[in-house]
Amino acid sequence: MSVYWQKQGIFAKVPQMKRWISYGAILLFFLIDIAVVSGAIEFDLATVQLIFAPLVVFLISTISISDVKVPWKATLIALLLVFACFLFVHSTPSTKDGPILVARFDKDPFNSQSYIFKNNLNEVLAQTSEIETKSLSRRFQTQEEAKEYLSAHKGIAALIWGSKRWLNVNFQREKAFELSQSNCSSLFDYFSGLKLINNVSWIGLSYEPLKGTTEFLGNLFAGQVPLEQYAIDSRSMRSIFLKKHLIRAGTLWEQWTSPSHKGLPLMLLGNYLIVEALQHPQYEPEMFKKAIKHYSSALLYVKTEDNPQLHRAVYSNLGIATYIRSRLEKKSKGRKLAVKLLKKAVTLDTSKENEKDQEDVIRVAVENLELVKEKIKNRRKSKKLKQINGTPKPNGVKKSNRLKKKQLMIANS
DSSP of 137-189: -----SHHHHHHHHHH-TT-SEEEEE-SSEEEEEE-----EEGGGG---GGGG
Q: What are phi and psi of 67, to 5 degrees?
A: 60, 20
CATH of domain 94-172: 3.40.50.800
Exposed / middle / buried, residue 348 (Cβ in 10 Å: 0-12, 13-18, 19+): middle
pLDDT over 50 (residue 300): yes
Convert the pLDDT of each residue in 105-133 to its tens digit: 998 877 889 999 999 999 999 998 888 89
**Of 304 and 56, more confident:** 304
pLDDT of amino acid 182: 85
β-strand pairing of 195-196 with 177-178 = antiparallel
> Residue 201's closest CA among 126, 245, 149?
149
- Asked whether 83 and 50 are in contact (CB, 8 A), the reply is yes
pLDDT of amino acid 332: 85
Residues 6+ apart with CB under 8 A from 150: 156, 159, 170, 171, 172, 173
If you average pLDDT over residues 228-255, what whole number do you get?
A: 93
Report the chain's C-alpha Rg in angstroms: 34
Convert the pLDDT of each residue in 136-181 to its tens digit: 989 999 999 999 999 999 999 999 999 999 999 999 999 999 998 8
- Asked whether 324 and 288 are in contact (CB, 8 A), the reply is yes
Task: Tell me the C-alpha distance between 296 and 207, whole Å.
Answer: 26
Task: Tell me the C-alpha distance between 156 and 286, whole Å.
Answer: 36
Confidence of residue 349 (pLDDT cuts 50, 70, 90): confident
Q: What are phi and psi of 185, to 5 degrees?
A: -70, 165
Domain layout of the chain by residue ranges: 13-91, 94-172, 177-204+215-413
